[in-house]
Structure 1
Amino acid sequence: MRRLRAFLLDHGLDAVLVCLATGAALTLTTRPTSTDDVAGVLHAVAVIVMILALTLRRRAPFVIPAGAWLSSAVLSLVDGSLIVGQASLSIVGMISAVLLGDLRDRSQARAGLAVVVASAATVAYQDPTHTPGDLFFIPGLFAAGWLVGFALHARTEQTQAAEERADRAELQRRNEARVAVAEERARIARELHDVVAHAVSVMVLQVGALRHRLPLEDSTSREALRNVEEAGREALTEMRRLLDAMRHEGEPLDLAPQPGLGEIVALLASVRAAGLDTDLHVHGEAVDLPPGLAVSAYRITQEGLTNVIKHAHTHYAEVHLRYSTDGLELEVRDNGDGPAATDGLGHGLVGIRERVALYGGSMTAGARETGGFALRARLPLGPG
């Protein structure tokens, strides 16, 4: 069905024109005429060529339909009864009028209207049986066809403009999503820098302390530890340079330590101060989390509560922390009446998704069956 529809859209009118040309040929070759047979055949050929020329309308959108009308006027001057009274030629005339009204170039479309009206008036006047009313009715009829084409073109332009706006909006949304992902990854990298830098600093200090405890005669071990200590300091220097490269111009240094789940209570206190009554539920026995994972767990909870404040239209939310032997599950849920999945730009879950993917976890977000919205994220605690 899809292929048939595409074929009809592309070639349906061409098939109609071929049928009309065949009908006109049969009518003209069998009609009684006062002229000789050669002239009748020439007239029939001229009409058939005029009709079939419309199949080339895409190559010359103005010349072909306008030429069909001008040819009709010329043929009516040769034989006044050749054009009138044939349904197939009336349909061809209407198709040509609609095509002229549907032209992209508005000046050509207006010129096409003049061609249609003048040619239709000529054909009507050359009809031996015409009445005074035909001189107004027939041009007006085909002018109405031109107006139909004109209206169709305006509607098509509106549709195309709407599609272009939708495409631009989609492109902008994708670009904003990519920017949001890049910014969130940079933020995660800066947070992990602090975690790694702290660990490397501890290692450097312990190596230095161990080197000073070694006896002076153990020069080989002292030199090896000195090399490790220097390599650690060089690594810290390069990490600071990398952090400066990721920081936006003019962005201040973040001197506060990175938060973890130990700061959840303080986070909930600030949320309550903002007007959102929040309860914390801890399930299972709490375990020590790796520093990077603890920071991500805090940020996920923070983002979930921020979305509740912005979008859920409620004054109550719950935070659930579920500890197990192989993972930590976070859940932020509310009883509001609006989804809390976005931040207004459609990127409210970008940071959560990036953080969860960083640790090979999983997340779900959606409406609850009992009402409200729930955000769930699971962070594995295994070696992976």
Structure 2
Amino acid sequence: MHRLRVFLLEHGLDAIIVCLAAAAALTIVTHTGSTGTDDVGVVFHAVAVVVMSLALTLRRRAPFAIPAGTWLSSATLSIVDGSLIAGQAPLSIVGMIAAVLLGDLKDHRQARAGLAVVVASAATVAYQDPTHAAGDLFFIPGLFAAGWLVGFTLHARTEQAEAAEELAARAEWQRRNEGRVAVAEERARIARELHDIVAHAVSVMVLQVGALRHRLPVEDVTSRETLRNVEEAGRDALTEMRRLLEAMRRDGDPLDLAPQPGLGGIAALLDTVRAAGIDTDLHVHGEAVDLPPGLALSAYRITQEGLTNVIKHAHTHRAEVHLRYCTDGLELEVRDDGGGPTTTDSLGHGLVGIRERVALYGGSMTAGPTETGGFALRARLPLGPG
């Protein structure tokens, strides 16, 4: 069925044209006796009609010349024999197909020229018909002009559909590109934040190694030299980290001299949300434990982004934050009871940053509407051994 459908889409019109050409030739041959035409004339007329009709199968090579040539050939043959074209249903259908094809041209100037060819040729065919009435000179050209109008309308619809598809593809590309930029920016932000945490830990180790080296006996040269090498390696690492941070910082970004926040800063964060007019409660489940600084910072940023989405999109005056301390991880949930977006795409690229932070610790995240209404952001950050 699929192959048949593809064949009909690609060659269905060609098959119809071939059938019409055969029917027109058969009609000419069967009416030989009634018209009194000799055999040579019958053959000439049949061949001319078949060639004129089958030429439409080459329309893709010359979209304007072939359909226009079909109509001009019809007018010419009607001058030779007035009853040859008029009154033949297969040739009328061939003419209608040619008229629609001329209306469906991409070049509007050629399409308008095609309309003139159709109207003039149809009027010629109608005028050369020995049995024509006065009204045929207007009705027949108007009928085929309507066919041209159908093709013109179809082309306009096709252009609109193609423009819509192009716009959708461009929007999809832009969305993906913005997503990649958001991921890169968030990763750079995470790296800058983790720099402070790692730099602080390395600084403490360097200071402790230096203090230990000075307390060793002078005669313990080997140990003192080993600790000196460790101390110098730590200082070199700090220098390289600062250079890397400067390279990652964009032009105009201010220096962040404030300490990186942790879960202890969530209370102040909730005060800011309450000041925005949203009543926010914090619920802590389980016994609080000390978290690694990087994980605590990510938990704070996730909560911050969830509350930001509540302010921007929830259209509500109440929200809840849940922190659950489990034996093997920390679970966060930010939920509201508003009528915000039903899909996560409308929340911008904030969720992209959350996914990056969750993936950094091998966690999981979900975001979407709840069964009771509102929106919920849930994230789980696993704790490593110890």
Q: Does 1:12 align with 2:12?
A: yes
Is contact 2:104-2:151 (8 Å) kept? yes
- In structure 2, give the amino acid aligned to 1:13: L
Q: 1:241: which partner in 2?
A: 243
Q: Does 1:347 align with 2:349?
A: yes
Per-residue CA distance 1:102-139 (angstroms, 9 max, x = gap): 11111111111111111111111111111121111111
- In structure 2, give the amino acid aligned to 1:25: A
- In structure 2, give the amino acid aligned to 1:362: S
Is contact 1:200-1:236 (8 Å) kept? yes
SS at match of 2:350: coil
Is contact 1:322-1:328 (8 Å) kept? yes
How far apart, CA to CA, are the structure 2 residues paired with 1:344 and 1:244?
33
Deviation at 1:152, TM superposition (A): 1.3
How far apart, CA to CA, are the structure 2 residues paired with 1:208 and 1:340?
57
Higher deviation after alignment, 155-164 or 189-198: 155-164
Q: 1:375: which partner in 2?
A: 377
How far apart, CA to CA, are the structure 2 residues paired with 1:343 and 1:125?
64
Q: 2:318: which partner in 1?
A: 316
How far apart, CA to CA, are the structure 2 residues paired with 1:88 and 1:335?
68
Is contact 2:334-2:376 (8 Å) kept? yes
Is contact 1:54-1:65 (8 Å) kept? yes
How far apart, CA to CA, are the structure 1 residues paired with 2:367 and 2:360?
18
Q: Does 1:119 align with 2:121?
A: yes
Is contact 2:343-2:369 (8 Å) kept? no
Alignment of 1:155-194 (within 5 A): 155-194=157-196
Alignment of 1:147-296 (within 5 A): 147-296=149-298
How far apart, CA to CA, are the structure 2 residues paired with 1:370 and 1:2?
45
Q: 1:359: which partner in 2?
A: 361
Is contact 2:344-2:367 (8 Å) kept? no
Deviation at 1:150, TM superposition (A): 1.2
Deviation at 1:339, TM superposition (A): 2.7
Count of residues paired in the alignment: 384
- In structure 1, give the amino acid aligned to 2:15: A
Per-residue CA distance 1:282-315 (angstroms, 9 max, x = gap): 1111111111111000000000001001100111
Deviation at 1:46, TM superposition (A): 1.3
TM-score by length of 1: 0.97
Is contact 1:342-1:348 (8 Å) kept? no
Deviation at 1:342, TM superposition (A): 5.5
How far apart, CA to CA, are the structure 2 residues paired with 1:143 and 1:42?
29
Deviation at 1:182, TM superposition (A): 0.7
- In structure 2, give the amino acid aligned to 1:151: T
Is contact 2:281-2:319 (8 Å) kept? yes
Per-residue CA distance 1:61-95 (angstroms, 9 max, x = gap): 00010010011111111111111111110001011
How far apart, CA to CA, are the structure 1 residues paired with 2:137 and 2:277?
78
SS at match of 2:210: helix
- In structure 1, give the amino acid aligned to 2:6: A
- In structure 1, give the amino acid aligned to 2:69: G
Deviation at 1:3, TM superposition (A): 4.5
Per-residue CA distance 1:21-71 (angstroms, 9 max, x = gap): 121122122112322212211211111111111111111100010010011
SS at match of 1:82: helix
How far apart, CA to CA, are the structure 1 residues paired with 2:308 and 2:364?
20
- In structure 2, give the amino acid aligned to 1:237: T
Is contact 2:333-2:376 (8 Å) kept? yes
Q: Does 1:58 align with 2:60?
A: yes
TM-score by length of 2: 0.96
RMSD (Å), alpha carbons: 1.5
- In structure 2, give the amino acid aligned to 1:156: T
How far apart, CA to CA, are the structure 2 residues paired with 1:260 and 1:249?
27
Per-residue CA distance 1:212-250 (angstroms, 9 max, x = gap): 011111111111111111111111111011111111101
- In structure 2, give the amino acid aligned to 1:21: A
SS at match of 1:317: strand
- Select which of 101, 104, 107 maps to 2:103: 101
Q: 2:47: which partner in 1?
A: 45
Deviation at 1:8, TM superposition (A): 2.5
Deviation at 1:9, TM superposition (A): 2.4
Unmatched runs of 5 consecutive residues or more in structure 1? none
- In structure 1, give the amino acid aligned to 2:210: G
Unmatched runs of 5 consecutive residues or more in structure 2? none
Alignment of 1:135-146 (within 5 A): 135-146=137-148
- In structure 2, give the amino acid aligned to 1:14: D
How far apart, CA to CA, are the structure 2 residues paired with 1:79 and 1:44?
12
SS at match of 2:87: coil
Identity of aligned residues (%): 84
SS at match of 1:208: helix
Per-residue CA distance 1:173-232 (angstroms, 9 max, x = gap): 111111111111110111111111111111111110111011111111111111111111
Higher deviation after alignment, 298-307 or 38-47: 38-47
SS at match of 2:106: coil
Q: 1:298: which partner in 2?
A: 300
